[in-house]
Amino acid sequence: MATVAAGPRLVANPIGWLKHERRWALVFSYFALFVFMIFFLGPPYYMLVTSLKTNQEIANLATNPWIIADGITFEHYWKLFAETGFLTFFKNTVIVTLAVVAITMVVSILAAYALARLKFWGAGILALGIFLTYLVPETLLFIPLFKFIGWLGLLNNYVSLIVVYPTISIPFCTWIMIGYFSSIPRELDDAALIDGCNHWQMLWLVFIPVALPGIIAATIFAFTVSWAGFIYPLAFLYSQDQQVLTVGTVTSLIRGDVFHWGGLMAGALLAAAPPVLVYAFLMDYYIAGLTSGATKG
């Protein structure tokens, strides 16, 4: 398996497969794909349509809800920028996400290298312990964590999220990275050791370059965790100037029992845009990375 996963040259040839199969298989594939895409993209499409409708049309029961009948309006997007703290939420979210990704990657790579290669006393138990922390739900931790964040003086400060989000991202990322590092042939270590590398140099010069796809995969996971987090910002942040995208959008557009649907949908789509861009760029690495890493876990 290890040798197989390392080599992208062994990819199956889909075109070859297609040539030998009957035509209807392709037709059926496209049909099935079409059905699945309706399932995946129907709700985002509906959100897009809603975000471009006027309030009157959203409230109107008589028209087809799936199309825009009364003309497109960008009013909800404009209001999002002008009348809510959306740009502030955006800035805060970016800062939190970048910091969490950086912390997660440094901590996970160090730990994963040590656990995968340096068989020190207790390494196995530690690896299991890191996995077990993944089983502890956020809903259980926020009260004690609030106490800790208060002690740090970080209540109502988005820096608190930089402190707590790594607890969600590190266990998963460490496990992915352990899988990656284990799949690196030991011959590489031996060669590096003979060249006189110590462990820090070996990690930096050998392991990180070789496992780059896995690192990118883990990065994207950490990115998602901190970008989409909901419970912790809900519990720790209340000022608009400290708020992040998810909670900020919801709390500034649901006022009492009045829902500003157009704005909510616009906010959801705008919040989804940065991850889409990030993933589009990194997709190929991501695919190669996640697979060979996770199969070794």
Partner 1 sequence: MHTSWTRRRLVRATSLAAVGTLAAPYVKRAHSAGTVTLGLWDHWVPGANDRMVELANEWGAENNVDVQIDFITSVGNQNLLTAAAEARARAGHDILSHPTFQIAVHQNALEPVDDVCEALMAEYGDFADNAVYLARLDGTWRAVPTCAGSQSYPMCSRLDYFRDIAGVDLQDMFPAGPRDPEKSKDWTRANFLEHARKLHAAGHPFGDPIGQTSDSQDWLGPLFLSFGSMMADENGNITADSDETREALAYMEELVQYMPDDIYAWDDAANNRWLISGEGSTIHNPPSPWTVAKRDAPEVAANVWHHDAPAGPRGHYRGNLPYFWGLWEFSPNKSAAKDLLLHLARREQQAALVEASQGFDMPMLKSFDDFTTYVDAAPPSGTLYNYPVQGNEILTVAGWPAPPSIAANIYFQALIPNMVARVTVDNESHDDAIAWAIDELEGFMRG
Partner 2 sequence: MSQQTGVPWRRRQRTFGRHSGLLDWFSSRSTVGVLMCLPVILIIGILVVYPFVFSIYLSMLNKPETEFVGLGNYVFLWGRETFWMVVRQSLIFTFFAVLFKVLIGLAVAHIIHHLPDRGQRLWRGLALIPWVIPPALGTLGWWWLFEPRYSAFNWLLQGMGFEAIAWLSDVFWARFAVVTVNVWYGAPFFMIMYLAALKTIPAELYDAAKVDGASPWQQFIYVTLPMMRNIIAITILFSTIVTFANFDIVRVLTQGGPRNSTHLFATYAFRVGIETGDVPLGAAVSLFMFPILAVLAYFILRNVRDRSERV
Considering only residues 200 through 229, tell me which ones interact with partner 1, judged by CB under 8 A. Answer: none
170 binds partner 2 (CB under 8 A): yes
Which 37-96 positions form the footprint of partner 1 (CB under 8 A)? 55-56, 59, 61
247 binds partner 1 (CB under 8 A): yes
109 vs 59: CA distance, rounded Å: 51
77 binds partner 2 (CB under 8 A): no
254 binds partner 1 (CB under 8 A): yes
188 binds partner 2 (CB under 8 A): no
Please work out, in degrees rounded to the nearest 5, the angle formed at the alpha carbon of residue 162 by the alpha carbons of 294 and 265: 80
Q: Which stretch binds partner 1 (CB under 8 A): 91-99, 108-116, 247-255, 275-283?
A: 247-255
Answer with the entry of partner 1, partner 2, none that 164 interacts with (C-beta below 5 to 8 A by kind): partner 2
Sign of the Cα pseudo-torsion (137, 111, 166, 295, in order): negative
Which 253-282 positions form the footprint of partner 2 (CB under 8 A)? 261, 264-265, 267-269, 271-272, 275-276, 279-280
137 binds partner 1 (CB under 8 A): no
Answer with the entry of partner 2, partner 1, none that 124 interacts with (C-beta below 5 to 8 A by kind): none
Q: Binder to partner 2 among 27, 37, 72, 87 (CB under 8 A)?
A: 37
For residue 279, the tally of other CB atoms under 10 A from its CB is 13
**Residue ranges in 61-165 assigned as alpha helix (H):** 75-83, 86-117, 123-133, 138-152, 159-164
H or E segment and range at residue 220: helix 212-228
Identify any residues that bridge with 255 across adjacent strands, giving them in sequence order: 258
259 binds partner 1 (CB under 8 A): yes
225 binds partner 2 (CB under 8 A): no
Q: Which stretch binds partner 1 (CB under 8 A): 40-48, 129-137, 246-254, 262-270?
A: 246-254
220 vs 101: CA distance, rounded Å: 8
User: 136: which residues sit within 8 A by CB, 6+ positions away?
Assistant: none
Q: Which two tokens stand for residue 132?
A: 């077990």
